[in-house]
Chain A
Amino acid sequence: MASATGLTRERLDLLDPHEVSALGGIELVAEGVVEGFLAGLHRSPYRGFSVEFAEHRPYQPGDELRYLDWKVVGRRDRLYVKQYEEETNLRATLVLDVSRSMAWSGDPERRLTKLDYATRLAAAIALVLLRQRDATGLIGFDDEVRCAIAPRARPGQWHLLARALADLAPGGGTAAETALARVTGLLRRRGLVVFISDLLVDRDLVLLALRYLRHRGHQVLVFHLMDPGEIELDAAAQARYVDPETREGVVVSPRDLRRAYRATVDGVVTAWRRALMSGGIAYHHVSTDTPFGHALRRAAERRARLG
């Protein structure tokens, strides 16, 4: 990939995440994904071109023709679109689970770890938000908060976030409730909280924290990441399965439990969905082999509802 824009012909948002990630670092991949994502939108879900002129930028496939500045086209014989400064109070915070359980892939040769998928997804979401001048911040946590970047909309925020995401390493256990308490302190104004985790956490405590955020007036969007190997047991031989965080193990024969396990996972997903949606929290179950564009669309839709 020579440049992010050069890859837009391939619609990176719809390609296999593992293949897309092999093209470069987080920053580059996120830009490629977002470019493809924006190019695929028939109608922009957000209003980045509505209020006050800010600058020109080169035309990109997917931009609406009505925003072309025909005068500039006439003078310079090149396509430019007008961009406007959107007036918004939105402050978005990406809350990312970096616990040890996230650093796992059921098939490392063909699939990203949940953490790699989460950082790239978070980067893409951040880029989309920053492009529409939303103040965007980041909190990474495991047992404790590993990094915290306050939401800003200034130029350079994107690179700051991208570097932070790239530097995130898997930590220890998961104590999401602590990190979420910190989030409440960072978000003084009502905004958007994007929570990305495998949700292998204390369910009641996390639900309590998320509902509290919602109670404080935040819009909360939860991405529940799961590796396909966690959704379907594809192993056959009996083994002792060990939790990477607690080191607790259980001896099972996947062949005996395959269907029952799938039912358990479905039950867990359903329970999360019901519990969160009953509290007005958006919930998306995402498998790490899902193209980034699909998850990105969920985030964009949520942003669009905020106006």
Chain B
Amino acid sequence: MVFLQPLALLLLGAALVPPLLHLFERHRPPDVVFPAVRYLRETEREAQRTIRLQHLLLLLLRVAAVALLALAAARPVVPARFGAGHEPTALVVILDHSLSSGAVSGGVRVFDDLEARAAETLRAAQPSDALWLIGADGVARRGSREELLQAAAAARPEPVRLDLSAAVATAARLVRASGYARGEIHLLTDAQRTAFDAPDSAAAGLPLVIYEPAADPPANRAVVSARASPATWLAGSGTVAAAIGGAPEPAGGRVAVTVTLRGREGARALVAPRDVALLPVTAPAAGWSAGEVSLEPDELRADDSRPFAVRVVAPAAVSFDSAETGPFLAVALGSLVRAGQARPGSAGAVRLGDGPAAPGGPAVVLPPRDPVQLGNVNRALAAAGVPWRFGPRVEREDTLAAPLVPDISGARVTRRYRLDVPSGVEPAGVLARAGGDPWLVRAGRTVLVGSRLVPEETSLPLASGFVPFVGDLVNRFARGEEGILEAAPGTAVALPDAVTGLAAPGGAVRRIGAERRIAAPQAPGVYFLLASADTVGALVVAPDPRESDLRRATAGELAGLFPGARVSVAASERGYAAVRFRGAGRSELTGWLLVAALLVLALESVVASGALERSP
């Protein structure tokens, strides 16, 4: 409590006046002749106790009245929870209706609890407040109280992940930019540990009220990963690798996993949580297929199944000269041939070497062993209609970044040729970069690699993903296939240049224009990538596996995630109501004190008039 006029507290000394007057009043009263003194004496004897109590009560009331008036003059100010309202506040409510909020905990859906708290807070807002609501998509929406109440009521658990650290940072920016002297951020969440990033001081100095449900989270199990292995199946059969996540089962507990492909149920297996199940599946006819790996239902249904995509093809025919490819690539190709994922061939075969194939034919072009031949190779590429060229030699250690080719991401490159296109030509078809420069590109059915696949130039031949990468080169990239993309609902995804449409699981086709980065669809499933009428790849939209880990951050951990912020963590409706707007405003108690003083004075006059006098 603070006082706006602290000097007025000196008036509290006036509270001594009533007792002093009371004492002076006892001194030498005047004599009055009165015959019926005996009646007075009798009355006083019977009413003496009442009179003393009445005098004491009067004295206390008068002291209280003076003290209340003195306090009112000092204009005390207290936190808003003691007053009728709060100062105008910039209020940001973050309603976490991500996938995990659909879990049922303690018989109640977590989201329903969070939505009720959000509605309470919005209803407590005043017209003078600035209000925002941040939902699971992380977008801040400003609106009136009624508009945001409607938005909160319309929200439902969605199969997306909300980065709570980023949401709080966004809220903090909004509060700071609002121009309001007071601000408050309310984070209504199930407080998953995985929903937070590293500690962020963006909200330093601001009140951050975090509400989390009191009930413990359920023991959730989820399919956190489902992929065809390998990504392209040869005719016959294939395998689906499914990773099971969530809370560990009790000792010896396993969960039943089922794989379904093209609507037909395939293999079943019992898998321990945190293990990976390899589920054999009979390959359907050649072409693209969508499937699903599922578990028995539990308290969080949205992560009990996960889609996957697979393409079934005939093994690619390859032709190569080991003198051009080097020994490592030759060995890898030999392994593929032996595994039945490639076959030796000539007509229509994928040519691997330092030159393009016959016009229109598939080829993987490597830099020539002799740099002198580089000009010939570039001329041959130009003759084949390939816009890419081998540019200057770069000898520098770089790391490969290949979102479309996960097997080679992170590999080191020490020597390479920069891959260029003539000026005025759009550099399309980049599959991987090294040091920011294109390193693996594709133009039609011709693939260019910036380095020879030997340990002197890249660590890739020594990596475990080398053989699968080579398999992708001959079975996917050289065949014009775009591969399988994975994305969480709503996240940004970069589409290959050739893609012109997106076919939803129900068959609806969304046309893709010039934009290459789109937001992944919200509904999980397999979306096929179309190039004109051809299916060239698939986009598998599945929930972020971090949403399946329902373990919560403790109050201490939450406070530590937002250093400098005034964090209040509430786990009950009452506790949350108690901290709501506590740091956002203050109220002046002058009015209340004046009302109290008036009431005390009214009571004093009632007592003084004898209304409370005991009737004998």
**Measuring CB to CB, which residues of chain A are less than 8 angstroms from any residue of chain B?**
101-102, 104, 114, 198, 200, 226-227, 230, 235, 237-246, 248-253, 255-261, 263-265, 267-268
Contact = CB atoms under 8 A, between A and B. Distances in A.
A249 B47 CA distance: 17
B51 interface: yes
Given A250-B37, A260-B46, A261-B39, A239 B32 contact: yes
B608 A264 contact: no
Interface in B562-616: 608, 610, 613-616
A234 to B, nearest CB: 12
A250 B29 contact: no
Given A239-B29, A240-B32, A250-B44, A259 B613 contact: yes
23 contacts: A200-B38, A226-B36, A230-B34, A237-B30, A241-B33, A241-B34, A241-B37, A243-B34, A252-B44, A255-B610, A256-B613, A257-B51, A258-B610, A259-B613, A260-B46, A260-B47, A260-B615, A260-B616, A263-B615, A264-B43, A264-B46, A267-B616, A268-B39
Contact of A243 (B35, B43, B614): B35
Given A259-B615, A260-B615, A241 B51 contact: no
B41 interface: yes
A198 B41 CA distance: 17
Closest 9 CB pairs of A and B: A101-B35, A243-B37, A241-B34, A260-B47, A239-B32, A264-B43, A230-B36, A261-B43, A238-B29
B54 interface: yes
A250 B610 contact: no
A198 B31 contact: no
Contact of B34 (A102, A242, A253, A267): A242
Interface of B: 25, 29-44, 46-47, 50-51, 54-55, 608, 610, 613-616
Contacts of B36: 200, 226, 230, 265
Contacts of A245: 35
A271 to B, nearest CB: 11
B249 to A, nearest CB: 82
B40 A238 contact: no
Given A101-B35, A261-B43, 10 more contacts: A243-B34, A256-B47, A256-B613, A257-B47, A258-B610, A259-B613, A260-B47, A263-B616, A264-B39, A264-B616
B274 to A, nearest CB: 85
A248 B47 CA distance: 20
Contact of B29 (A244, A251, A258): A251
A246 B46 CA distance: 22
Contacts of B31: 239-242, 249
Contacts, number: 102
A252 B34 CA distance: 12
A249 B37 contact: yes
Nearest to B34: A241
Given A250-B44, A252-B44, A260-B43, A242 B37 contact: yes
A200 B35 contact: yes
Given A257-B44, A260-B47, A242 B33 contact: yes
Contacts of A104: 33-35
Give the most central of B32, B43, B51: most A CB within 10 Å: B43
Contacts of A259: 610, 613, 615
A195 to B, nearest CB: 18
B29 A257 contact: no
Given A256-B51, A256-B610, A243 B44 contact: no
A254 to B, nearest CB: 9
A230 B614 contact: no
A268 B616 CA distance: 13
Nearest to B37: A243
A225 to B, nearest CB: 11
Contacts of B614: 260
Contacts of B55: 256
Contacts of A249: 31, 37
A239 B39 contact: no
Contact of A239 (B30, B38, B608, B613): B30
A102 B33 CA distance: 12
Nearest to A99: B35
Given A263-B615, A264-B616, A257 B32 contact: no
Contact of B40 (A101, A227, A252, A255): A252
B58 to A, nearest CB: 10
Nearest to A261: B43
Contact of A241 (B25, B32, B50, B613): B32
A261 B40 contact: yes
Contacts of A101: 35
Give the most central of B29, B36, B39, B40: most A CB within 10 Å: B36
B303 to A, nearest CB: 80
Give the most central of B38, B54, B55, B615: most A CB within 10 Å: B38
Nearest to B36: A230
B32 A242 contact: yes
Contact of A198 (B33, B35, B37, B50): B35
Nearest to A241: B34
Contacts of B29: 237-240, 251
Nearest to B32: A239
B40 A257 contact: yes
Contacts of B615: 259-260, 263
Contacts of B39: 230, 261, 264-265, 268
Contacts of A268: 39
Given A251-B29, A263-B615, A244 B43 contact: no
A241 B40 contact: yes
B55 to A, nearest CB: 8
Given A239-B30, A242-B32, A250-B44, A256 B38 contact: no
Contact of B613 (A242, A260, A267): A260
Contacts of B44: 250, 252, 257
A228 to B, nearest CB: 12
Contact of A235 (B32, B47, B610, B616): B32
A289 to B, nearest CB: 16
